[in-house]
Amino acid sequence: MKKQINHRTNAYFIRGAFYLLLLIAVCAIPFALGQRSPHKLRVAPAAAPSTLPINQPDLRRGTLNPALTSWTVVASYPVIVASPAVASDGSYVYSAGGDILLAPTDGFYRYDPAANLWTPLASLPQALYNARAVYAANVNKIYVFGGVDASLLVLDTTYIYDIETNSWTSGASMPDGRYYPGVAYSSSTGKIYVIGGFDPFFEEASQTWEYDPVLGTWDTSRMDIPVAMGGSATSIVDQSIYLAGSYGGGTGTDLHYRYDIVEDSWTPVKPVPVAVYAAAGAAVGSDAYLIGGGNPSLGPFATKQHRIAASLMAPAVSYNSTYIYDTVTNSWTAGPNTNVGHAFTDGTAIGNALIVVGGVDGGDYIKTVEIALTAATSTPSPTPSPSPTATATATATATATATATTTATATATATATPTATATPTATATATATPTPSQIALTANGYKMRGIDTVDLVWSGAISAKIDIKRDGVGIARVSNTPPNSYTDSTGQRGPATFIYQVCEVGGANCSNPVTVRFGGG
């Protein structure tokens, strides 16, 4: 059990004096920065937007297959902004809060890539910046964690945006204040992970907290990062969360760690090619992407107050680079540069597209938004829709076919005609095609809060670990222990077809493939 220390009481006693020192440091930081000219806060001219070179179906389905297209400038953000909190529900991009010339904003906007249009939505409950956001598919809501307010208070807030009602509520507060944490949602566990960041004393933190969006509760017992990291680019591939780069006390780092959610363990992986801080992170398929960011290097005479102030201001160098991390080969390659620098930025993936929003380019606050397409194929993303109250279920056996109706129920066997209860519009069909193998696999498809969800059960495997595969791609590695089962929250809401197999790790012995269909997919 990890110890969680509540700094709030002590922080109140010292905050007044500390803020005075911090404000002095903010004014003096240009003299400590390791660069030729002092940092200036300026508004950059808006980059000319281009028409998206793709249409929405192409963007979502991944029909274009370049390694990574050149970055395209799209519709500008409604205001100049740095440090926004960006997330995607698979149909739209959402951006919350941010820093406008060192002042926080409560603005909240939605970007439609098909219409190339930003739309204002209900404002955040308070103005903040340096927060991070994530979409939880199992509840169809956007979560914004922590940040910094106008008085430089490090927030412990959890703000929840309901997509269906365009309204905000407050969730359970984080165990402590954080800004620039790493945040990721796992479709396998249905949980959100809030990792590292900066604590109320402006020190980098190392915790791994797990938040349950259904119950609204926090689990603080998970393994800490081996080293404290704040301002890391964060992405998730299958059951692994990746943190790339960090503040490093004001020098930036090339640290790169992988967190295995199932094993609750941290592993160092290939370092980032450059020391980078506050970049955008996203993942498509098995690749993770690191976009922009900067190097917050300070001169030799920088004090602690200077370093703290630098964590809140633009870095010495704003990067326009894109780096691609192959999680299979544990290797980095360079992608195309963005059109402008994007330090103190954020971004996300939507289908097979990457998007980066605003930030700081040198001394200029910008409203530039850019998109590039990847060659990777993403897991089908959910689209916002009301969550049905009934579920559709189907159990796969050797030859059984399950068809959901609104009234009939039956038990699926190899010779019977099974059915399952569902809403009038939901249909799930599962069929299995057995192949000679000692591993037998069955699947049960149903809706969980509107998300296509599949329970897998297997028998006959003898290895210690099992690889779970969906559509030929590994999505998880789990222990081969009773009850020998796994639940896959696919993230898909509409009609879809999935093919599953389980395989022994380190061998070629796999189960029969099982096909699960939802809604005629």
**pLDDT recorded at residue 381:** 38
**pLDDT recorded at residue 37:** 33
Does any domain span residue 389? no
For residue 183, is pLDDT > 90?
A: yes
Domain final residue, candidates 340, 373, 406: 373
Mean predicted confidence (pLDDT) in 342-357: 95
**pLDDT recorded at residue 56:** 35
**Strand spans (E) along 449-490:** 451-459, 465-470, 473-479, 485-489
Choose from 52-56, 60-64, 288-292, 393-397 the range with maximum mean pLDDT: 288-292
Domain final residue, candidates 344, 373, 402: 373
Same domain, 299 and 350: yes
Does any domain span residue 379? no
Instruction: Return all residues near 99 (Cβ < 8 A) that are at least 6 apart.
Output: 81, 82, 83, 105, 129, 130, 344, 365
Same domain, 349 and 424: no
Same domain, 145 and 257: yes
**pLDDT recorded at residue 319:** 94
- What are the tens digits of pLDDT across the range 464-475? 888 888 988 888
Same domain, 325 and 454: no
Same domain, 211 and 163: yes
Reported confidence tier of residue 480, pLDDT bands at 50, 70, 90: confident
Q: What span, in angstroms and rounded, lies between the C-alpha atoms of 31 and 35? A: 9
* DSSP β-ladder status, 403-405 and 419-421: parallel
* 25-95-266 Cα angle (round to 5): 75
User: Domains in the chain: how many in total?
Assistant: 2
Same domain, 125 and 264: yes
Does any domain span residue 387? no
Does any domain span residue 3? no
Choose from 55-59, 200-204, 361-365, 412-416 the range with maximum mean pLDDT: 200-204
- For 323, the enclosing helix (H) or strand (E) is strand 322-326
For residue 165, is pLDDT > 50?
A: yes
**pLDDT recorded at residue 194:** 98
Does any domain span residue 388? no
Same domain, 264 and 313: yes
- What are the tens digits of pLDDT across the range 420-446? 343 444 445 444 444 445 799 999 888
For residue 145, is pLDDT > 70?
A: yes
Instruction: Give helix 8-32 / helix 304-312 axis angle, nearest 10°.
Output: 90
Structure tokens at 147: 């940040």
* DSSP β-ladder status, 158-162 and 167-170: antiparallel
Residue 483, burial from CB neighbour count under 10 angstroms (0-12, 13-18, 19+): exposed
Considering the entire predicted model, what is its pTM?
A: 0.66
Instruction: Return all residues near 482 (Cβ < 8 A) that are at least 6 apart.
Output: none
> In CATH, what number is assigned to the domain containing residue 125?
2.120.10.80
The domain of 493 spans 394-518
Same domain, 169 and 311: yes
Instruction: Return all residues near 226 (Cβ < 8 A) that are at least 6 apart.
Output: 206, 257, 266, 268
**pLDDT recorded at residue 129:** 96
**pLDDT recorded at residue 484:** 86
* 241-180-171 Cα angle (round to 5): 85
Reported confidence tier of residue 16, pLDDT bands at 50, 70, 90: very low
Q: What span, in angstroms and rounded, lies between the C-alpha atoms of 293 and 401? A: 51
Same domain, 398 and 358: no
Reported confidence tier of residue 476, pLDDT bands at 50, 70, 90: confident
The C-alpha R_g of the chain, in whole angstroms, comes to 23
For residue 387, is pLDDT > 60?
A: no
- What are the tens digits of pLDDT across the range 312-325? 665 678 999 999 99
Same domain, 464 and 363: no
- What are the tens digits of pLDDT across the range 288-304? 999 999 976 554 445 55
**pLDDT recorded at residue 15:** 44
**pLDDT recorded at residue 302:** 53
Does any domain span residue 381? no
454-457 contact pairs (CB < 8 A, 24+): 454/487, 454/488, 454/490, 454/498, 454/500, 454/516, 455/485, 455/486, 455/487, 455/488, 456/485, 456/486, 456/487, 456/488, 456/500, 456/502, 456/514, 457/483, 457/484, 457/485
Does any domain span residue 382? no
Does any domain span residue 384? no
Domain final residue, candidates 373, 404, 421: 373
Length of the chain: 521
> In CATH, what number is assigned to the domain containing residue 448?
2.60.40
Same domain, 401 and 369: no
Same domain, 368 and 402: no
